[in-house]
A and B are shown apart, each in its own frame.
Chain A
Amino acid sequence: MFSYCADPETLDGLTWLSCYLTTGKHMAFYGAFGTVLLLLAITAPTALAFGFGGASAARSSLAPLRWVGKAYISIVRGVPDIAFFLFFVIALDQGFEWLRHQALCPGWDQPVRQGNDFVVCQAAKLPLSSAPQWIHEVYGFFLAVLTFAIVFGAFAANVLYGAMRAVPRAQLETAEAYGMSQRQCFWRILVPQMWVYALPGLSNLWMVLIKATPLLFLLGVEDIVYWARELGGTKTPQFTDYPHGDWRMWYFLALLVFYLAFTRVSELVLERIMARLNHGQATSGGDAQRTTA
């Protein structure tokens, strides 16, 4: 990175550290923090959408749709989430390949499961074996995002379902009395009003989502945990210009601090949003604002 880094042998102290921390691999490590933030940025709205769909389905007047919604909400609870992460990554991958197999290779007569192998025709492989490396990486990341969205969508559905039921019945009845249809009641009254009841649950969920991001490592994505293990391990002079002992402890300490800072900042931001949503609401939080003002 810096010009004086040309010959690492001659460096010591802080200059050595500054050169060490700016090697190409460390840049990839810093980039992995971007991966985590990207995952959060994509997953949070997707999970919220899944949750909204699940919660709306669970309170639908159509019985089969209601069962699907309720099953979705309850199925992802009660079992360790990490089991779902490990399960969905393989299951989704195989599901996609099976669907493509059905569509692309109609003439195939052998079973897909042969003993301990999962066999689909060449054209149905995802991604195609001829695809460049970055497609494989993007596909892996996409599977991870989808897995996170499904699992956290169920949690969000649970929170939103509770919030929809917490909206005072009188507000909906007033809307009906004004002649609004079911659909208008839902979109104009229920949806805007439910957020103040949903936010405590959703902010809790956001914290949990942040703390779940290291599980990306288990899904095979090269994230910060992967790089911390990789870079921190003992390096001998044969393989690197910057030999050092086992520093994994310090790398994970850095990750720990990163997460602490991240959750703390989120907490402060969410507090402000909550104060804003409480404004003028007929809840104890809203009352507290009125009396102090």
Chain B
Amino acid sequence: MSCWEVIADYGLRSLGIGERLLPRDDFTLCKQVVLIGSGMIWNIYFGALALVTGFFLATAVALGKAARNPVARKLSTWFIFVFRGSPLFIQFFFAYFAFLSLKGVSPIFDPFTAAWLGALIVLFLNTAAYSGEIFYGALQAIPRGDLEAADAYGFTGWARFRRITWPTLLRLAWPAYTNEAIFLFHATTLVYFSGFPAWRQKGDALYYANYFADKTFNPFVPYPILAGYFILLTLVIIGIFGLVNRRLNRHLPQAARGKIRFRPNLLR
């Protein structure tokens, strides 16, 4: 069985396309690389969607936390506290069992117990809380002069936010936000270890790496493969976010532009 056949059989296995059974014997390097790579589809799916949707909620939460209205402020503060103060792992478990209980109430909740929706919602809320805190910090750090200049030019309300506050907020928050995006992609590996079942063995990269480690009793091959994929993914994220960073800072003199550096990564 050549490696091309393996790619045809297992390349999209994590989506349920191709071979039905996972390899049982003869765990070649090619099979491990292809199947773990196939699992990366789910990591990218969870990470990308949660990041894009979470971005908007995060902006709202940051503005809420800085708002004068006490209700909005309390709500945002508590939202951030709950999701940043507890482990993502426990959040996954709680959400899964909560959705399972709701399933008994109404069949509408059926898809929520599947990872593709249920876990996505948890990741969305989680990243919104973490990024919300980052954006809130940036909002507090906007130079007073910028806002005074906006007032002097007669900017008010939405135009002031859209033209002055928001771009500056993003510019200041961007390095930290890049880090958050990298965390988020790393956090997606928790999904299939925290209650959400991998239906028909359609799992993410770590799920397959763990499968191979269990079968071959040799952790020294699948986990480094997984590590390689994630380092690659991290570099891609840094590349994309670096481009955005360049655009956000394009009005600044060359020397003042902050470069995004690869900073220490911690799990949550």
Give bound CA distance, A118 to B213, whole Å. Answer: 12
Do B234 and A78 touch across chains, with their CB atoms under 8 A apart?
A: yes
The contact string, 1 if C-beta is below 8 Å from chain B, for chain A 210-241, is 11111101100000010011001000000000
Q: Determine whether A135 belongs to the interface, using a CB cutoff of 8 Å to chain B.
A: no
Q: How far is the CA of A201 from the CA of B91 in the complex (A)?
A: 24
Interface status of A272 (Cβ within 8 A of chain B): no
- Do the beta carbons of B268 and A86 come within 8 Å of each other? no
Are A252 and B226 interface neighbours, CB within 8 A? no
Q: Are B193 and A82 in contact (CB under 8 A)?
A: yes
Comparing B48-56, B96-104, B117-125, B168-176, the segment that makes contact with chain A is B96-104
Asked if A80 meets B189 with Cβ closer than 8 Å, knowing A90-B213, A211-B86, A252-B94, the reply is yes
**Any chain B CB within 8 A of the CB of A158?**
yes
A21 at interface by CB-CB < 8 Å:
no
- Chain A, residues 104-136, CB within 8 Å of chain B (1/0): the string is 000000000100111000000000000000000
Q: How many A-B pairs fall under 8 Å by CB?
A: 129
- With A80-B186, A255-B90, A259-B85 known as contacts, the answer to whether A91 contacts B230 (CB < 8 A) is no
Q: Which residues of B contact A253 (CB under 8 A)?
A: 94
Closest residue of chain A to B88 (Cβ to Cβ) is: A211
Look across to chain B and name the residue whose beta carbon is closest to the beta carbon of A214. Answer: B89
- A283 CB within 8 Å of chain B: no
Contact flag A225-B219 (CB < 8 Å), given A77-B264, A260-B85 = no
Contact check: which of B25, B98, B264, B267 meets A249 at CB < 8 Å?
Answer: B98
- Closest B residue to A119 using CB positions: B217
Chain B residues near A211 (CB-CB < 8 A) = 86-89, 267-268
- Partner pick for B100 among A81, A82, A210, A246, CB 8 A cutoff: A246
Main secondary structure of the interface of B (DSSP, over half): helix
Whether A256 and B86, one on each chain, are in contact in the complex, defined by CB atoms closer than 8 angstroms, is yes
For chain B, the count of residues having a C-beta within 8 Å of the partner chain is 44
* A263 interface contact, C-beta 8 A: yes
Do the beta carbons of B216 and A116 come within 8 Å of each other?
yes
Residues of A with C-beta under 8 A to B226: 79-80, 83
The smallest C-beta distance from B129 to any residue of chain A, in angstroms, reads 13
Q: Once the chains are docked, how many angstroms separate the CA of A189 from the CA of B94?
A: 48
**Chain B residues whose CB sits within 8 angstroms of the CB of A113 once the complex forms:** 218
**CB-based closest 10 A-B pairs:** A80-B186, A252-B94, A249-B97, A211-B87, A81-B267, A87-B223, A248-B97, A90-B219, A263-B85, A79-B227
Q: Given A87-B219, A116-B218, A249-B98, 6 other A-B contacts at CB below 8 A?
A: A113-B218, A208-B267, A225-B90, A249-B94, A259-B85, A263-B86
- Name B residues whose Cβ lies closer than 8 Å to a Cβ of A: 25, 27, 81-82, 85-91, 93-94, 97-98, 100-101, 186-187, 189-190, 193, 206, 209-210, 213, 215-220, 223, 226-227, 230-231, 234, 262, 264-268
Q: List 6 A-B contacts (CB under 8 A).
A: A83-B206, A83-B223, A87-B213, A210-B87, A256-B94, A260-B86
